Amino acid sequence: MAETTANDVEVATKPPGPDELPLVGSLKEFFEDPLQFYTETADEYGPVAYFTLGGNDFVTVSSPEYVKDVLVNNDDEYVKGQQFDDLMGPICGNGVLLAEGDFWQSQRETLEPAFDPETLSRHCQVMTDYTQRRMDRWTSGEERSVYEDLMYTTLEIAGKVLFDFDVRPLDGDIPAAMETVRDYVARRLWRPVEVPEWMPMPGKREYREALALIDETAYTIIDEAKASDSDQQTVIDLLLDKDDPLSRQQIRDEVFTLLLAAHENTTLSATYTLQLLAKNPYAMEKVHAELDDVLDGDAPTFADIPRLTYLDKALTESLRLYPPVYSMLRETKADTTLAGYAIPEGTTVSCQQWAIHRDSTFYDDPLSYRPERWTDEFEERLPGFAYFPFGGGPRRCIASRFAKFEVKAILATMLRNWELETTLEKIEFKPSISLRPDTDVTMVPTPR
């Protein structure tokens, strides 16, 4: 950790890490299975470990204490960074997810009211109605892609509650465009070496077309919101009402940042919770019993959602085991130290939900799905950042409460009337920016 020089001055050394091939570093192991690579690196080299990918410096952080150093105690020493920017910049521009400094702060403050509890109370019915509308297409015994159903549902909800916009005419096109963008982004992420932007890459034309559709949709959303005389305050109104007016491009960046953020991670967490419940029938039975008890045959209301305490634990546990954001990237602004190790300027630092959420130091039988573990006493004992599916510090998810509420409202609406049998033995992942499934997630519904 520290070496002593001839003059007896302690110099921090870089963190331990795997022996690597020159130039390529740990590319092969990382690209074969990043989730396994992260866990094995933590097991073998400890909570702060160093490796390189094609000449770029990486550090993984897999202890709550040092994650807190990065995200909270020394957060001013880090930015989201070039890797994250390169990948998400074409999609989110300078929206609140990627912006930095005073501008980020001002955008965050502008957007926060859209996610407060009062706003939630207005949107519960949209969440349940839109879910029900999709469930109405289900037929007993017919295999469904719940992943796709949830993708459409969350997108329709996001369009309505954030922008008072009906995305249904574009239902098929927008998720497909988002998928194309995400696939292309994932391929760039998985590319072993940096290829200049001008070089042809498979799928680039489709990517550009998808981005054009997304731009067009974002501008339509903005124009319709401007022209609307509805009393409903939308996120666009919040953005248009700023004293220091924003450019049309900046509003587009926020619209698309929110649409992507609102749709992707909620879809993943709802899908994984359904899969885990379907694989653990005792837990599914408890969810059903609670829904019967609390809802008494009716659709869930705003007041019902906090009373669904077992469903809450089921979701909390699913976000532990399969966190949609499984690793969060930061970059050092200047040379710094972490856990006593030297971390040079420009190093990509990855805070590891995946490894920490599965650490037996904090969780008994960590690979099992056990909603019951989430008692008040357990939560009190759990160190900060042993569980952080929504990140932490100033850049914590702006919508964590909103997201949990929405996923619970969707799952309660689905499960109160349906049994679900999974057709997948085991879920495999294709991790990119988020923890995406490698195959479609299908289930067979039967009415209860």
- DSSP, res 300: P
Binding segment (CB under 6 A) for ligand HEM, from list 15-23, 26-34, 389-397, 438-446: 389-397
Q: How far is the CB of 46 from ligand HEM (least distance, A)?
A: 23
Distance (Å, rounded) from C-alpha 147 to C-alpha 437?
9
Q: Is 401 in the site for ligand HEM (CB under 6 A)?
A: no
Distance (Å, rounded) from C-alpha 228 to C-alpha 211?
25
Provide the mask over 79-118, with x wherever binding to ligand HEM is found by CB under 6 A and - wherever it is not: -----------------xx----------x----------
How far does CA 414 lie from the centroid of its chain?
22
Q: How far is the CB of 315 from ligand HEM (least distance, A)?
A: 8
Q: How far is the CB of 268 from ligand HEM (least distance, A)?
A: 7
Q: How far is the CB of 346 from ligand HEM (least distance, A)?
A: 18
Q: How far is the CB of 232 from ligand HEM (least distance, A)?
A: 16
**144/404 with CB nearer ligand HEM:** 404
Phi and psi at 121, nearest 5°, equal: -60, -30
Among 391, 401, 427, 442, the residue binding ligand HEM under the rule CB under 6 A is: 391
Distance (Å, rounded) from C-alpha 137 to C-alpha 128?
15
Among 369, 390, 405, 429, the residue binding ligand HEM under the rule CB under 6 A is: 390
Binding segment (CB under 6 A) for ligand HEM, from list 197-205, 244-252, 264-272, 435-443: 264-272
Q: Please calculate the CA angle 119-120-121 and round it to the nearest 5 degrees.
A: 90
Provide the mask over 151-180, with x wherever binding to ligand HEM is found by CB under 6 A and - wherever it is not: ------------------------------
Q: How many residues bind ligand HEM (CB under 6 A)?
A: 23
224 burial class (0-12, 13-18, 19+ CB within 10 angstroms)? middle
Among 27, 398, 411, 415, the residue binding ligand HEM under the rule CB under 6 A is: 398
267 burial class (0-12, 13-18, 19+ CB within 10 angstroms)? buried
8 burial class (0-12, 13-18, 19+ CB within 10 angstroms)? exposed
Q: How far is the CB of 402 from ligand HEM (least distance, A)?
A: 6
Q: Which residues contact 430 (CB under 8 A, 6 or more apart)?
A: 186, 436, 437, 438
Among 276, 284, 397, 435, the residue binding ligand HEM under the rule CB under 6 A is: 397
Q: Is 66 in the site for ligand HEM (CB under 6 A)?
A: no
Q: At what angle do helices 82-92 and 204-227 cross, to 10 degrees?
A: 60
Distance (Å, rounded) from C-alpha 398 to C-alpha 195?
34
Q: How far is the CB of 235 from ligand HEM (least distance, A)?
A: 9
CB-based contact 353:32 (threshold 8 Å)? no
Among 26, 63, 266, 350, the residue binding ligand HEM under the rule CB under 6 A is: 266
**78/138 with CB nearer ligand HEM:** 78
Q: If we measure between CA atoms, which residue out of 42, 50, 43, 46 comes closest to residue 18? A: 50
Cβ atoms within 10 Å, residue 7: 5
Please say whether the dihedral angle defined by the alpha carbons of residues 274, 275, 278 and 283, taken in this order, is positive or negative: negative
Among 61, 67, 255, 262, the residue binding ligand HEM under the rule CB under 6 A is: 262
Q: Is 325 in the site for ligand HEM (CB under 6 A)?
A: yes
**1/72 with CB nearer ligand HEM:** 72
Among 239, 356, 399, 409, the residue binding ligand HEM under the rule CB under 6 A is: 399
Among 160, 357, 395, 416, the residue binding ligand HEM under the rule CB under 6 A is: 395
Q: Tell me whether strands 328-332 and 348-351 are parallel, antiparallel or unpaired.
A: antiparallel
Q: How far is the CB of 447 from ligand HEM (least distance, A)?
A: 28
Binding segment (CB under 6 A) for ligand HEM, from list 184-192, 280-288, 337-345, 388-396: 388-396
Distance (Å, rounded) from C-alpha 2 to C-alpha 281?
52
> Could you give the C-alpha distances from 244 to 239, 247, 416, in angstroms and in order?
10, 10, 47
Q: Is 356 in the site for ligand HEM (CB under 6 A)?
A: no
Residues of this chain that bind ligand HEM (CB under 6 A): 96-97, 108, 257-258, 261-262, 265-266, 269, 324-325, 328, 389-391, 395, 397-399, 402-403, 407
